[in-house]
Amino acid sequence: MKKQRISDSELVSLYINGDEDAFRELVLRHKNKVFTTINLIVKDRYLAEDLLQETFIKAINTIKCGNYNDEGKFLPWLLRIGHNLAIDNFRRSKRYPIVLMENGTNVFNTLEFAEKPVEDKQITTDSIEKLKRHIQELPESQKEVLIMRAYLDMSFKEIAVATGVSINTALGRMRYALINLKKKMKKNSLAYDKNNYPR
Amino acid sequence: MTKTITQDDVLRYIFKETSNEESASIKKQLLVSESLMEYYREMKDTVRKVKELELEPSDEVTQKILNYSGSPKYESIS
Average pLDDT over residues A175-187: 94
C-alpha count within 13 angstroms, C-beta hemisphere, residue A83: 21
- Scanning A89-128 for CB atoms below 8 A from B yields 120-122, 124, 128
- Mean pLDDT score of chain B: 90
Give the nearest partner residue to A61 out of B66, B70, B74, using CB atoms. B74
Kindly list the residues from chain B whose CB atom is less than 8 angstroms away from the CB atom of residue A64: 74
Instruction: Give me the amino acid identity at A143.
Output: K
| Gap between the Cα atoms of A7 and A27, Å rounded | 13
Q: What does the DSSP 8-state code read for residue B6?
A: P
Kindly list the residues from chain B whose CB atom is less than 8 angstroms away from the CB atom of residue A20: 66, 69-70
Average pLDDT over residues A112-133: 61
Q: What is the pLDDT of residue A125?
A: 73
Q: How far is A60 from chain B (nearest CA, A)?
A: 7
Please judge whether A57 and B76 are an interchain contact, meaning their C-beta atoms are less than 8 angstroms apart: no
Please judge whether A175 and B61 are an interchain contact, meaning their C-beta atoms are less than 8 angstroms apart: no
Please judge whether B70 and A20 are an interchain contact, meaning their C-beta atoms are less than 8 angstroms apart: yes
Quickly count: other Cβ atoms within 10 Å of residue A195's Cβ: 5
Quickly count: other Cβ atoms within 10 Å of residue A52's Cβ: 28
Substitution target in A42, A43, A146, A175 with the highest count of B β-carbons within 10 Å is A175
Residue-wise pLDDT for A56-100, tens only, equals: 999 999 999 989 987 879 999 999 999 999 999 988 877 554 554
DSSP per-residue letters across chain A: -PPPPPPHHHHHHHHHTT-HHHHHHHHHHHHHHHHHHHHHHH--HHHHHHHHHHHHHHHHHHHHTT----SS-HHHHHHHHHHHHHHHHHHHHHTSPPPB-TTS-BHHHHHHHHH--TT------HHHHHHHHHHHTS-HHHHHHHHHHHTS---HHHHHHHHTS-HHHHHHHHHHHHHHHHHHHHHHHHHT-TT----
Phi, psi of A43 (to 5 degrees): 60, 20
| Gap between the Cα atoms of A181 and A159, Å rounded | 20
Q: How far is B22 from chain A (nearest CA, A)?
A: 16
User: Whole-prediction pTM value?
Assistant: 0.79
Q: Alpha-carbon torsion A64, A68, A71, A74, what sign?
A: negative
Say whether the ipTM exceeds 0.90.
no
Please judge whether B77 and A61 are an interchain contact, meaning their C-beta atoms are less than 8 angstroms apart: yes
Give the nearest partner residue to B17 out of A27, A61, A156, using CB atoms. A156
Contact B26, B13 (CB under 8 A): yes
Asked whether residue A114 carries a pLDDT value surpassing 50, the answer given is: no
